[in-house]
Each structure stands twice: as structure tokens, then as C-alpha cells.
Amino acid sequence: MTAAAAPLLCHAESNLQSGAGSPLTATAHVDFQITIPKFVFLRIGAGTGTATGGWASNGTIDLITFAPAPATVGNGVALAGSGGDLTGGVETAVVVANQGSVTLSSTTLGALNDGVGDTISYATIQTTSHKLTTAPMLKAPALVDGGTSTLVVTANGKNKTVQRDAKWTYTYANATTPPGGTYGGVNTNNSRVTYTASVP
């Protein structure tokens, strides 16, 4: 009984037409469905994926460092950093989404500090976007002390997609002479910037 009923579970269609006259026409139908998941991808630094594919999670967090020589501290000449996946204080930045415009933000817990009360403001670290690939360039949200800075990455017309990238170059303004010490570090003394990409 089970074997006999099994074919009835298949939702295929057939149509038999017969008769002495002509022409004869038989029709059958097939329905199709494609389900595309809603997603957002963000890469800052040594992640995995580009604006056009290869997206995957990667837990690597880069460290950008600035170390002016004693004779140049506070001379007002912007200082290039070290580190970053592209070296020289430069990070790969990529955002991809398929659900409309993306809200991109940067958040810190406060100014960089040395653990004994001295601080350097995140306002002294500038982020400059440069072209990376043929994709539209991704601008960077500013860095602020103990808060969130936000910008909107506009979707591409009717298809609601965002595919942008850039080389983000970090520089230290070096316009003041702070007390000697190490400000920030690896997830210490307010060193970590959290970038967030969100879609509706």
C-alpha cells in the first residue's frame, strides 16, 4: 500500500491528449523558487573576502601603531602608522550587503590612555580612504572619544545592493606633546575601535 501511494507525493504534472483530429496539444508546468538570504559583510583589515566574493568570518584583529622619534614628537607633521594588513598603517575595508543602504559606524570606549591618567584623543587619528579596486570607494566614519560616529553607505539603485571597498590609511596628527608612555595596546586602555555595519 505504501509503495503504491508514494508516486502521489510527487508534485509533477502530466497531460495526455488523444483523438482522431489534429493538431493535438499537451501542456505541463514546472514552478521554480530561489531563496536568497539577507546578509551584510564587513571586513576591516586581515579579514576574508573582497567586494565581489569570498566572504567568510575571520577573527584576526590588526594593531596599528605610531611611534614618533623623540626629536619629532609634537612637531605637527602627521605620522604614518605601522601594521595593518596592507602594512604602513593601511587596512583593507570592505562592506557588502543586499538589503538596502548600510549604516556604518565606529565606536570607542573613550580616549586612548596610558593606564595612569594620561590620554590622547582619537581625534588625532585620521582615516583617509583611497581606491582599492574598481568597486566604488568606501568612506570611513571618523574616530571619536567614548562615542559612535556614523555614516550611511547608499545602496545601488533598485537592486538594493552595496559593494564597496577602500584602502583606509590611518595617520597620527602628532600636533601635541603628551606625557611619555604607551597609549592603548591590544584591547587595553580604550585601544579597540568597533566598526559596525547594519542593514534594515
Reply yes or no on whether the pLDDT at 41 is more than 70. yes
User: What is the arithmetic mean of pLDDT over 105-126?
Assistant: 98
Please give the pLDDT value at position 134. Answer: 97
Is 34 a member of any domain?
A: no
Is 6 a member of any domain?
A: no
The domain total for the chain is 1
Please give the pLDDT value at position 22. Answer: 79
Contact of 114 with 182, CB cutoff 8 Å: yes
Please give the pLDDT value at position 137. Answer: 98
Look up residue 53 and give its three cell numbers: 566574493
Q: Look over the chain and give the mean of its residue pLDDT values, rounded to a whole number.
A: 93
Is 36 a member of any domain?
A: no
Reported as a single tens digit per residue, the pLDDT across 46-80 is 999 999 999 999 999 999 999 999 999 999 999 99
Is 73 a member of any domain?
A: yes
Radius of gyration of the chain (CA): 28
Is 87 a member of any domain?
A: yes
Contact of 189 with 112, CB cutoff 8 Å: yes
Q: Which residues constitute the domain of residue 74? A: 44-198
Reply yes or no on whether the pLDDT at 8 is more than 50. no
Please give the pLDDT value at position 11. Answer: 58
Is 32 a member of any domain?
A: no
> Helices (H) and strands (E) in the chain — how many of each?
1, 12
For the chain, give the number of residues: 200
User: What is the arithmetic mean of pLDDT over 107-128?
Assistant: 98
Look up residue 133 and give its three cell numbers: 579596486
Is 170 a member of any domain?
A: yes
Reported as a single tens digit per residue, the pLDDT across 141-196 is 999 999 999 999 999 888 899 999 999 999 999 999 999 999 999 999 999 999 99
pTM, two decimal places: 0.88
Q: What are phi and psi of 192, to 5 degrees?
A: -90, 125
Cα–Cα distance list, 126 to 55, 117, 122, 156 (Å): 27, 23, 8, 28
Is 63 a member of any domain?
A: yes
Question: Which of 139, 105, 104, 110 lies closest to 123, judged by CA?
Answer: 110
